[in-house]
Structure 1
Amino acid sequence: MTTVTTHSVEYPADGLTMISHLALPAGTGRRPAVLIGPEGTGLNDFQRRRADALAELGYVALAFDINGGRWFTDIEEMLAHALPLLAAPDRMREIGHAALDVLRAEPRTDPDRIAAVGYGTGGAIALELGRDGVDLRAIGTINALTTGRPGEAARIRCPVWAGVGSEDPIMPAAQRDAFAAEMQEAGVDWRLVVYGGAQHAFHHPPVDQAVRPGVGHHPLHAQRAWRDIVELLADCLPVTE
């Protein structure tokens, strides 16, 4: 197994002290890098392990915080924090840019070869970085088919891959159609994969907290979605010595 080095990184964003997780691949040279954004509940070991897995593949990976080190176990409390954030593109961009600055400042990062991957709120942040014109090599989102302000999707400069469950009540067919129309009108190189029978947050293993209707883990599609993300990165951001 490839040796991976990890440590926490603290920095200010959105009026909070963010505590993100940086994973470095073996070696000393510069490598392509990936931002990993969490769902609205916050950064936990699931995204940290995703960062470690990408480091195993040779990427510098930063699983970034959005809640100032908090993991919301109460769904209503999480929604009270996440919904205003999702309605504020400039706040999402601030959080994304702060994490991006940390990733770019890492000596192992090739600053010209960075992708952004996100789940839920973290995926919305990845999309907003694209709409802000950030030079990314790829954007990958799961459960995040958020649309942006009119015309700003035309500033996306890289392929966009999005995955969603067919039974996701938070991202229903109408939202899928709106997202597809925005990407198509903007001339983005985009793909949307609908995983049959999957609900919202299908990618995330079960956790000890109350679950809302329409939210549930789908182990098979979770594995497929991860493979799709890895393939996106291999295609748009290959690791080379």
Structure 2
Amino acid sequence: MTRTTTRVTTRTVTYPADGLTMVGHLALPAGVDRRPAVLVGPEGTGLSDVERHRADALAELGYVALAFDIHGGRWFSDPEEMLARCMPLLAAPDRMRSIGHAALDVLRAEPRTDPGRIAAVGYGTGGAIGLELGRDGVDLRAIGTVNALTTGRPGEAARIRCPVWAGVGSEDPIMPPAQREAFTAEMQAAGVDWRLVVYGGALHAFHHPPVDQTVLPGVGHHPRHAQRAWRDIVGLLAECLPVTE
């Protein structure tokens, strides 16, 4: 399905990955010229309107944006189902990379995309996939993650070729201080240009507006920090992947 407004055109894209048919959301800015592009990865629950709207917002700013799928069109309202799918995935870097590369291929194939100017932004599992693309040596201009301070296989962070920005809530029990320290130690040892922002008082998935579902303990929305994290991500893109008219 294709939808066009005065400034943004969106359409659904399907593609194979991880043995599934993924259902992504592509947003294009006005015009016909090539533009820098952004992969937008979802939380572990799956691709939702939250990420679709973020892709649309990036298209409003002049980027080609693909909000990619990780569960074959499914969105998990049951935390136990989500964990049963995500925990094995997060423990398998090559699977994460295959999902990321499949989405990247779709984004690169879009005629409006400048294939030499692509960034990856992700939340939770989607952020971990972006980091794995970096560890796989993909030529990205920036990687931005929220509550995805995952560490990789020894030595592979040295393949990251771009700045990395990470945001996390200070009260996130899923990404506690020990995990933050492990992540920043990995980035520092690899010589990565990295930044970490800790949002005071915020829980896991603080960026995600509340939805009608059962949530895990330690998960909660923080409206003020959600806005700040979005501004930080937009700032990262403006610095590393500027849009030139």
**Could you tell me the TM-score, scaled by structure 1's length?**
0.99
Aligned counterpart, 2:142: 138
Runs of 4+ in 1 over 3 A off after TM superposition: none
Please point out which of 51, 56, 60 is paired with 1:56: 60
Aligned counterpart, 1:4: 8
Matching of residue 89 in structure 1 with residue 93 in structure 2 = yes
Aligned counterpart, 2:131: 127
Give the Cα–Cα distance (whole angstroms) in 1 for the partners of residues 72 and 147 of structure 2: 22
Structure 1 residues 7-52: Cα deviation after superposition (integer angstroms, max 9, x where no partner) = 0000000000000000000000000000000011000000000000
Structure 1 residues 200-235: Cα deviation after superposition (integer angstroms, max 9, x where no partner) = 000000010011111000000000000000000000
Give the Cα–Cα distance (whole angstroms) in 1 for the partners of residues 19 and 236 of structure 2: 33
The secondary structure found in structure 1 opposite 2:26 is: strand
Aligned counterpart, 1:72: 76
Give the Cα–Cα distance (whole angstroms) in 2 for the partners of residues 199 and 213 of structure 1: 9
Amino acid at match of 2:64: V
Aligned counterpart, 2:192: 188
Amino acid at match of 1:33: A
Give the Cα–Cα distance (whole angstroms) in 1 for the partners of residues 216 and 189 of structure 2: 34
Does the CA-based 8 Å contact 1:2-1:56 persist in structure 2? no
Deviation at 1:2, TM superposition (A): 5.5
The secondary structure found in structure 1 opposite 2:86 is: helix
The secondary structure found in structure 2 opposite 1:148 is: coil
**Could you tell me the TM-score, scaled by structure 2's length?**
0.98
> Which 5+ residue runs of structure 2 have no aligned equivalent?
none
Does the CA-based 8 Å contact 1:2-1:25 persist in structure 2? no
Give the Cα–Cα distance (whole angstroms) in 1 for the partners of residues 6 and 96 of structure 2: 34
Identity %: 86
Does the CA-based 8 Å contact 1:39-1:120 persist in structure 2? yes
The secondary structure found in structure 2 opposite 1:35 is: strand
Give the Cα–Cα distance (whole angstroms) in 2 for the partners of residues 224 and 86 of structure 1: 27
Deviation at 1:179, TM superposition (A): 0.2
Give the Cα–Cα distance (whole angstroms) in 2 for the partners of residues 61 and 139 of structure 1: 14
Amino acid at match of 2:87: L
Aligned counterpart, 1:161: 165
Please point out which of 207, 228, 235 is paired with 1:231: 235
The secondary structure found in structure 1 opposite 2:172 is: coil
Does the CA-based 8 Å contact 1:167-1:199 persist in structure 2? yes
Amino acid at match of 2:61: L
Aligned counterpart, 1:19: 23
Amino acid at match of 1:5: T
Give the Cα–Cα distance (whole angstroms) in 2 for the partners of residues 118 and 104 of structure 1: 18
